[in-house]
Amino acid sequence: MLTHLRIEDVVLIEKLEVAFRSGLCALTGETGAGKSILLDSLGLALGARAETGLIRRGADQAAVSAVFEIAPAHPARAILEEAGMEIEGDELILRRVVGMGGKSRAFLNDRPVSLNLLRAVGQTLVEIHGQFDNHGLLNPQTHRAMLDEYAGLNADTENAWKTWRAEQDALEEMKALVARAQTEENFLRTALDDLDALEPRTGEEGTLGMLRERLMHREQVLEALNAAYLLLNAEEDPVRRAWSLLDRVSGRAGGEVTAARDALDRALAEIQDATATIRDTSEELQDAGHDLATIDERLFALRAQARKHDCEPDDLPKVRDDIARKLALIADGSEGLAAQEKKVQTARAEYVKQAEKASAIRARAAEKLDKLVQGELAPLKLEKARFVTQIETLPEPEWGPSGRDRVTFLVATNPGAEPGPLHKIASGGEMSRFMLALKVVIAQAGSTHSFIFDEVDTGIGGGTADAVGERLARLAREKQVLVVTHAPQIAARASNHWVVEKTGDDKVATTITPLETRAQRAEEIARMLSGSTITPEARAAAESLLRTGTE
């Protein structure tokens, strides 16, 4: 729900902060006091179109922040997660800044975001209903979703649609692949023969490169190995000769000479090991089954095929498998296509099954909804009106994730008249009351928690205004409801009440004051009843309305 609204430099408001509460919240005040400024400001924070005329005279920019508490499963979280943002805790702050040039900046929890993202999130938080709305009931595109929320439809139809579309896409891709493969068959067969003859292996280019580097220096390495071997096996080996001389006198010369002889003995063993290693390495290089010409020829062949198929040499095995698969499709294309077409038919049948279930659920819910909404209309001074939920079966090209139905809310305001689209039949005040009746019925459905009704009392008074107030209060048991009203009967039903006023002579400003006591509320309701001169009779009537509103 909406908890705080902070406005800076918007029209007549320099700085204003309002802490809202749950339940029915009434905003009252004389005509022209600035109640519409509050709604325009909130709309700005929710992503509405920005106009430079909203900026207070003398200010460089206007800024509005709206703070909401959202539940862990609120759909706004899913929208933000998809955009790469996560919300910690249960507070969400929407902020909008508009400059003199008309450019605006949007923020969510102090992070810059696009206006589209701000608007998408805002639409999940608040519904605003007034005389001239072009959304909600006036937009038939929303009617099916509203009925589905009321009916509690699950996602089975949408899941079946996704499966069907995925299988259909796979079929189209397979058809295109077969068609392309057939036109390229000769090229593919030649390419496959060449790759099979080459037998490329992943990592082969790197291995051949290292072997080539080694072989390029083989002669130098062999020459050094042979020279070292000859030196270590020369007849005049100074180490061996020294060892022989020391060995003869070690028994007579003491321990130091014996230690030196033993050291030479170890050196001779190391020299023998080195000699064996040199010999083995030399033989290995001389007997190698590769030569530079063979390696260069192999590398050239691999790289030529890689250029031909526009890939890396290490990818040639995969290219070969892809070509073989395409040729298999040509050879067995009809069977593969037939199998995929069967999958499409199966998925379509499952979708139709789930869509039919959804249609049946919608039909039952529509019948119940019409009856309950109809019961709300008479007390709202719409006793001659009829509310009808029309469900039409769409042709297959118009089927979609929600099923095969088009849902339209129709009304007739005169007896005997054929029901028609709401925006063509009802007046502004009637539309607000139709919306109120509908929302009271489906209050527990849907995720939107805050509703704003502007001028819902237009053209009504007395008992009808009291009926509107009673229904707003009933809706506010489940949702937060903000109502801008001139009807004292509605204001008396509110659990929270603010007065919007213009103050100042030279410098006019809009203020909003919470009415915390019963006496304050009674005085404001009395003013609404009698005008600027408040009579004792008006105060008595205000007390009576407050008693009725709290019963």
As separate numbers, helices (DSSP H) first and strands (DSSP E) second, the chain gives 19, 15
Specify whether the CB–CB gap between 500 and 38 falls below 8 A: yes
**Could you give the 3-state DSSP secondary structure of residue 132?**
coil
Whether the model clears a pTM of 0.75, i.e. scores above it, the answer is no
- Using CA atoms, how far apart are residues 147 and 442, in angstroms rounded to an integer? 9
- Using CA atoms, how far apart are residues 40 and 59, in angstroms rounded to an integer? 18
Residue 495 burial (10 A CB sphere; 0-12, 13-18, 19+):
middle
- Using CA atoms, how far apart are residues 226 and 377, in angstroms rounded to an integer? 110
How big is the chain by its Cα radius of gyration, in Å?
43
Specify whether the CB–CB gap between 469 and 495 falls below 8 A: no
- Using CA atoms, how far apart are residues 220 and 419, in angstroms rounded to an integer? 100
**What HEC string does 3-29 produce?**
EEEEEEEECCEEEEEEECCCCEEEEEC
In the chain, domain spans: 177-334
Reading the block at residue 338, the tokens are 């037939």
What's residue 175's pLDDT? Answer: 87
Residue 547 burial (10 A CB sphere; 0-12, 13-18, 19+):
exposed
* Number of other residues whose CB lies within 10 A of the CB of residue 151: 19
- Using CA atoms, how far apart are residues 457 and 487, in angstroms rounded to an integer? 6
Return the amino acid letter for 392. Answer: E
What's residue 346's pLDDT? Answer: 96
What's residue 549's pLDDT? Answer: 65
Q: What is the pLDDT along the chain (551 residues), one digit of tens a residue?
A: 999 999 999 888 888 899 999 999 999 988 777 787 888 889 899 988 887 778 888 888 999 999 999 988 888 888 998 888 888 888 999 999 998 877 889 999 999 999 999 999 998 888 877 654 545 566 788 889 889 988 988 889 999 999 999 999 999 998 888 777 777 778 888 899 999 999 999 888 888 887 777 677 767 777 787 888 787 777 677 877 788 878 777 777 667 778 888 888 888 888 888 888 888 777 766 655 567 788 888 889 999 999 999 999 999 999 999 989 888 877 776 677 888 999 999 999 999 999 999 999 999 999 999 999 999 888 888 888 899 999 999 999 999 999 999 999 998 888 888 898 877 776 666 777 787 888 888 765 666 678 888 777 777 777 888 888 888 888 888 889 998 888 899 999 999 999 988 887 667 778 889 999 999 999 999 998 887 788 889 899 999 998 876 66
Reading the block at residue 93, the tokens are 């702050």
> Cα–Cα–Cα angle for 9, 10, 16, nearest 5°?
70
Helix or strand holding residue 173 (H, E): helix 156-183
Reading the block at residue 548, the tokens are 């009725």
Return the amino acid letter for 283. Answer: E
> Cα–Cα–Cα angle for 458, 482, 462, nearest 5°?
35
Q: Which residues contact 402 (CB under 8 A, 6 or more apart)?
A: 144, 145, 148, 157, 158, 358
Give 496's strand partners. 25
β-pairing verdict for 24-28 and 61-69: unpaired
Return the amino acid letter for 482. Answer: L
What's residue 132's pLDDT? Answer: 45
Reading the block at residue 182, the tokens are 């057939």
**Could you give the 3-state DSSP secondary structure of residue 199?**
coil
Largest interatomic CA distance in the chain: 142
Helix or strand holding residue 385 (H, E): none
Count of residues for the chain?
551
Reading the block at residue 326, the tokens are 């395409």
Q: What is the residue-wise DSSP string for 275-342?
A: HHHHHHHHHHHHT-S--HHHHHHHHHHHHHHHHHTTS-GGGHHHHHHHHHHHHHHHHTHHHHHHHHHH
What's residue 134's pLDDT? Answer: 41
User: Which DSSP category does 426 fall into?
Assistant: S
Q: By C-alpha distance, which of 222, 213, 241 is closest to 287?
A: 222
Q: By C-alpha distance, which of 151, 199, 63 is closest to 358?
A: 151
β-pairing verdict for 405-412 and 104-108: unpaired
Specify whether the CB–CB gap between 95 and 63 falls below 8 A: yes
User: Which DSSP category does 83 fall into?
Assistant: T
Alpha-helical segments (H) within 184-291: 185-198, 204-216, 218-232, 238-253, 255-286
Specify whether the CB–CB gap between 376 and 441 falls below 8 A: yes
Tokens 């050239």 locate to 300
